[in-house]
Amino acid sequence: MKVEGYFRVLRPRKEGISAGWPFNRWFGTNQSFRRKRIEGKQTEKNCSLNPRKQHISALQRLSRSNKEHQRSISKVTIYSFPCSISDPEPFPLRIRINPQVDLPSPAMDSSQPSSETDPMMKNQPRRRASGGPEHKCNVGRQPSIGGDIGHAAAETYLITRLTFKLLRYLGVGYRWITRLLALGLYAILLMPGFIQVAYYYFFSSQVRRSVIYGDQPRNRLDLHLPKSSEGSKPVVAFVTGGAWIIGYKAWGSLLGKQLAERDIIVACIDYRNFPQGTISDMVSDASQGISFICNNIAEYGGDPNRIYLMGQSAGAHIAACAILEQAIKESLGDSISWSVSQIKAYFGLSGGYNLFNLVDHFHSRGLYRSIFLSIMEGEKSFDRFSPEVRIQAPAIKDSASLLPPISLFHGTSDYSIPSDASKTFVEALQKVGARAELIVYDGKTHTDLFLQDPLRGGKDELFEHLVAKIHADDPEALARDAMAPPRRRLVPEILLILAHEISPF
């Protein structure tokens, strides 16, 4: 029998400590009186025996009971008076017998106590004896659909809990309430499309969910694979948006589904959000996810020489910080786990790249200054996490030549992050010699390019731009793209129009 004990001394002993037996330090050697209470049964008797023998006898009786009934006693409390009259109060020794240990069943003996004769055995739940082939662990069991749904539910619960924790910490103002109500109605209007994408996400064999890329919380990524496995495929490493607070890898499922139909692998990188992490944690997670893709995507059929980095909204900012940080490390000769030269191009969708220009705008939109400063680790960190500002610093201008070609996409009716944020970033990049371009879409909002237009189906300007750039060096793929059928509509037009009008973004 395995016995696990922990001892709590409420009153330290002063006298009677002797060596040779561990319990002597608590019970001494001069005790003349003992009182035992075992599971509510209390007895008293004069003690003239050695304390060691008395305690061994008590443990032996408990051991016999355990062996007969194949279960363990949950708790035993033994009270003992000290050996000195100057210490009048008893102190407890509590022994906990491990309930997980299974013991062999001995032959029945009428002299041993039973549940009818021993009050300790009453009201104790019966336990099955483990062991035997029928109890072997199912090692290597494949994950089930229920397990996948449970994992997604657990992560959704984590996101919701962190969001409410943030709101309790900062207080919920009028703008937050109206934004949340608008967001709920917006999601209801687009629900027909969300349900179809969710079905694909959870039940399609083309999706590899929650591939682990690091040891931090939420260091996971989803892989959206084409149906055809012939040849190596171009890869898009995608960092999702979410105002640095509600970002999640599943938000890229629609993009992953549609690019996979054009023979492109999409890896949606998850990362810690605020308040679970701050901007430095987010950039570190994104960089580690990119490193995993660069070093391991060949195992999933991807071409490590054709990797494209993309981010949307807050994800565009995080991805830009990650690739610029990596370029600076390379220019300084620091140790790196992936190279900027492995990235063929960077695509930034509706992103913000200068925190100094955005803090007041976000405050007016409901992302209050106190929240924003907490996310960005204070105003002192704005220089480091503003790619537009950092690229112009004289000390790191040499790193601009290492950056891949950069394409920024933005809608002119984007009220969450104005299109001027992309325009000024492109100008700063071009000023230091980087290859950068800006593509503007008239009348498009923050979510039109990423959600409403893809859900509408048919031809999509942004989607066609992306595919054309990714397949620019592959004439056969360009020919297949020209013959590809129009994408299927997922949401009725009337619902898309209403969602456009009510969108909180």
Active site residues: 313, 414, 446
Per DSSP, the three-state class of 449 is: helix
Structure tokens at 477: 């793929």
Residue 377 vs residues 162, 216, 319, 355: alpha-carbon distances, Å: 18, 19, 18, 12
In order of 177, 185, 282, 316, the CA distances from 244 in angstroms are 19, 22, 8, 11
What's the CA gap between 161 and 157, in Å, rounded? 6
Query: What DSSP letter does each residue of 389-401 carry, written as one string?
Result: HHTT-GGGGGGGG
Residue with tokens 């190596």: 232
Phi-psi region at 435: left, alpha or beta (left = phi > 0; alpha = psi -120 to 50) = beta
Sign of CA dihedral 44, 45, 51, 57: negative
Helix (H) or strand (E) run with residue 158 in it = helix 145-170
Helix segments in 261-412, DSSP class H:
279-296, 314-332, 355-365, 369-375, 387-390
User: CA-to-CA distance for 297 and 322, rounded, in angstroms?
Assistant: 19
Q: How far apart are CA 330 and CA 339, in angstroms?
A: 8
Q: What are phi and psi of 249, to 5 degrees?
A: -65, -30
Closest alpha carbon to 414 in 448, 438, 451: 448
| Signed CA dihedral, 278, 284, 288, 293: sign only | positive
Cα 432–chain centre separation: 37
Q: CB–CB of 351/417 below 8 Å?
A: yes
CA 24 to chain centre: 50
Alpha helices in 28-125 (DSSP H): 51-69
Maximum pairwise Cα distance, the chain: 99
Which CA distances in Å does 290 have to 378, 465, 487? 26, 23, 29
